[in-house]
Structure 1
Amino acid sequence: METAEEQETPRVAQGPPEGGGLTGVVGPDRPPANEAEQGGPGGSSSRPERSGGRQAANPPWVVGYSTGVADDRRSRQISSGTSHQGASDERLPMCEAPLVSIYRVLKEPELESPALVAALNGWVDAGAAGTTAASYLASDGEVIVEFDTDALVDYRARRPTLDIHEGVLTRMGWHELNIRSVRADNRDLLVLTGPEPDYRWRQFEEAIVEVALRLGVTESICLGAIGAMVPHTRATPLLVTGKQRGSLESDMPLPADHMQVPASALNIIEIALAEKGMRSVGIWAQVPHYVHGTYFPGALALVERTLGHLGVRLPLDSLVDLAKEERARLDTVVASRPEASAYLDQLEATGPLPPVPPGDDIAEELERFLREATGDGRNPFDDPGQDPL
């Protein structure tokens, strides 16, 4: 029989090790934690219907250069994927504590030869070319997997947006990281888009592998973009990485020696899925370093190469129109700024694109170009008093 002292002693409830709720106190005077705190489903929220059409004036797939915030501003609750049955008198060792799931599968449709296409806002997304390309591919798609951005994104580094209407705070625009399914000819594309995770990269890798195996993914393509010393007057050059590239070739020679560069979460996906036996490649657009904002010609080049590699077709009219508008805008800027015109002439005079040099060489060459073009090293495409490109 328990003593009175033992009956009044509260017990410590074991919660998730990190990011999964608070560790609470359960005792005679406090009710048990609710379902969400216990790691149960916690309910669900409705999702507004997405626009299915591609409108050239304001297409829904156009990605803001630095926002990465989805238009779908719903509140949602992610299931932790764990269940805590009652309280525990002793804490589990850190290595044995259950991991909180960072994703949930909303729907498992019947898929035919699905290919995963991934692009993340952040590192290696110059001109938002990669995320714009992926968002275009997925614009008619249905969300089937979503990731818990509360567990993956640093909101103080990439803050959500806030709508204010007539002085009233109306709603929050939360970041969304998800996979959408879209049909393209005789196969399915699973498109991963959203912010590059700030935290839990290894857990994110495990989640991507789990989802890919669960949905029967046969191959993957990672899309990104890198700022480079290339002119906008040329076709966007593309680099291709991966062992099983097939007929997919780079537009410029890849470095023959060993290189070590800062990694992105996309690189993790390419490596992890290749290790599971899936054909995994990366396609990286070389975007003119002087362009500010979304570079649609780069996005178009990525989409065209991706569709050709996968052997499928999708309408490209609206993206082609935006790429033409971007080219015309840049041509107008060049014509109105002698310094920009002179700098562009130097870029065009470089001839055939050389192998990719080390980063220090690129920076040194860029500084030399800028000094010769302006005398002070500033970007000749930036005009004081006007908005940058």
Structure 2
Amino acid sequence: MSENDRMYELEYPAPGIGDGIGGVPLVIALQGYADAGQGVQQASQHLLQALEHNPVATFDVDALIDYRSRRPGVTIDRSRLTGSEDLSLTLHRLEDSAGHPFLLLEGPEPDLRWNAFSRAVTELSTSLRVDRSVALYAAPMTVPHTRPLVVSAHASDPTLVADLQRWESRMIIPGSAALRTELSLSSAGVDTVGLTAHVPHYIAASDYPEAAYGLLHAVEQVGDLELPLRALQTDMEKVRSQLAEQVEESGEIGTVVAALERQYDEEMARMRRRRENSLLAPGENVPSGEELGAEFERFLAGMSGDSDSEGSDGDAGTDPSTGTGDPTDGDRDA
């Protein structure tokens, strides 16, 4: 029995995963690391509530969770202990609205044994024929709630997220179990995508269903799935109405939101200008200095060849009909 086998327990009998022909997508929704507005948690809960699901494997949270840093809630009802929050980390099988199967790994992010956990998820993914994983994140950003929510994407293959906003610079960010799992899956040949919802920083501690909606809408795009999102749209409208009331009642909040709107609009305009002025095709990389030099040399060589050819055709000493001699030589001899 391997270390990975001891980390999780497979359900028996195992639910059927797919049709045995193509691969299945895996959605990774680990809560606790980057979950501003509870976007990741709400996204996974919505999927489980809206779609039929069956457990495939259950991880041993005692081996992965530090209870002192993530203390489960305990209920005391009239001086009597009545229950405790149940922490679970589970891999589920679901079917989307069109009947296509996919997997969902949801629960608290492991505090311990990230390497062993990522190997276990990779082992399960290989055995279940996962061909693409989509990890969900939500980060607090200096953006206003009055503008469209932005979802940034990264991927093992940039063409997978060509239609989404991508990170433009090189960054070093704090690691997480989900990010470690992405790297492990990519090394095993699985296409990996990470989606990050940009949540207004002043709402990061509250439920923000717009983040869950934005993440799941992007999952539909990159995972080729059809998901029921109408209930989230209803929740979004309620929160938007509440936020509008708060902005209207507080001049200070309104001033902050207006400043964020200006900043957002300027950044979007800059990005539009950058795309319009780009000479590169979508997904095309900037060529290296060596590639530019080689292309310039080929251009000059072509110009040189064209010049020689034009000079030969226009030379007064060449007879176009024969390619040699002077067409006036015969007249002079005569």
The alpha carbon displacement at 1:242 in A equals: 0.9
Matched, 1:159 2:67: no
Q: Which has the higher helix share?
A: 2
Cα RMSD of the aligned pairs, angstroms, is 2.1
Alignment CA distance shift 1:196-1:285 (3 Å): same
Report the Cα distance in structure 1 between the residues aligned to 2:45 and 2:30, rounded to whole angstroms: 10
Indicate the residue corresponding to 1:277 in structure 2: 189
CA contact (8 A) 1:238 1:286 kept: yes
Alignment CA distance shift 1:205-1:155 (3 Å): same
After TM superposition, the structure 1 = structure 2 runs for residues 125-164 of structure 1, keeping only pairs within 5 Å, are 125-139=35-49, 140=51, 141-164=53-76
Indicate the residue corresponding to 1:178 in structure 2: 90
Report the Cα distance in structure 2 between the residues aligned to 1:207 and 1:332, rounded to whole angstroms: 47
CA contact (8 A) 2:27 2:133 kept: yes
Report the Cα distance in structure 2 between the residues aligned to 1:247 and 1:193, rounded to whole angstroms: 23
CA contact (8 A) 2:155 2:161 kept: no
The alpha carbon displacement at 1:135 in A equals: 2.4
Correspondent of 1:260 among 172, 195, 198:
172
Correspondent of 2:217 among 265, 282, 304:
304
Report the Cα distance in structure 2 between the residues aligned to 1:289 and 1:100, rounded to whole angstroms: 40
Matched, 1:104 2:6: no
SS at match of 2:37: helix
The alpha carbon displacement at 1:215 in A equals: 1.3
After TM superposition, the structure 1 = structure 2 runs for residues 316-335 of structure 1, keeping only pairs within 5 Å, are 316-335=229-248
Report the Cα distance in structure 2 between the residues aligned to 1:206 and 1:247, rounded to whole angstroms: 24
What amino acid sits opposite 1:260 in the alignment?
A: I
After TM superposition, the structure 1 = structure 2 runs for residues 80-95 of structure 1, keeping only pairs within 5 Å, are none
The higher-RCO structure (CA 8 Å, 6+ apart) is 2
Q: Which runs of 5+ in 2 are unaligned?
A: 272-334
Report the Cα distance in structure 1 between the residues aligned to 2:32 and 2:267, rounded to whole angstroms: 26
Alignment CA distance shift 1:314-1:163 (3 Å): same
The alpha carbon displacement at 1:245 in A equals: 4.4
After TM superposition, the structure 1 = structure 2 runs for residues 170-319 of structure 1, keeping only pairs within 5 Å, are 170-184=82-96, 185-246=98-159, 248-249=161-162, 252-256=165-169, 258-291=170-203, 292-319=205-232
SS at match of 1:349: helix
Report the Cα distance in structure 2 between the residues aligned to 1:114 and 1:289, rounded to whole angstroms: 35
What amino acid sits opposite 2:34 in the alignment?
A: V
SS at match of 1:199: coil
CA contact (8 A) 1:238 1:250 kept: no
Correspondent of 1:346 among 249, 259, 262:
259
Alignment CA distance shift 1:308-1:100 (3 Å): closer
Q: Which structure: larger Rg?
A: 2
SS at match of 2:234: helix
What amino acid sits opposite 1:105 in the alignment?
A: L
CA contact (8 A) 1:286 1:298 kept: yes
Indicate the residue corresponding to 2:30 in structure 1: 120
CA contact (8 A) 2:132 2:223 kept: no
The alpha carbon displacement at 1:276 in A equals: 1.0
Indicate the residue corresponding to 1:4 in structure 2: none
Report the Cα distance in structure 2 between the residues aligned to 1:99 and 1:146, rounded to whole angstroms: 12
Report the Cα distance in structure 2 between the residues aligned to 1:313 and 1:237, rounded to whole angstroms: 20
Per the normalisation by structure 2, the TM-score is 0.73
The alpha carbon displacement at 1:219 in A equals: 0.8
Report the Cα distance in structure 2 between the residues aligned to 1:270 and 1:282, rounded to whole angstroms: 8
- What is the CA deviation profile of residues 163-186 of structure 1, one whole-angstrom value per residue up to 9, with x for unaligned ones? 233332122222111111111124
- What is the CA deviation profile of residues 11-50 of structure 1, one whole-angstrom value per residue up to 9, with x for unaligned ones? xxxxxxxxxxxxxxxxxxxxxxxxxxxxxxxxxxxxxxxx
Report the Cα distance in structure 1 between the residues aligned to 2:71 and 2:166, rounded to whole angstroms: 39
SS at match of 1:120: strand
SS at match of 1:225: strand
Report the Cα distance in structure 2 between the residues aligned to 1:198 and 1:267, rounded to whole angstroms: 13
Q: Which runs of 5+ in 1 are unaligned?
A: 1-80, 83-97, 357-389
The alpha carbon displacement at 1:252 in A equals: 4.1
| Matched residue count | 260
The alpha carbon displacement at 1:265 in A equals: 1.2
After TM superposition, the structure 1 = structure 2 runs for residues 369-384 of structure 1, keeping only pairs within 5 Å, are none
Alignment CA distance shift 1:172-1:300 (3 Å): same
Q: Identity percentage over the alignment?
A: 29
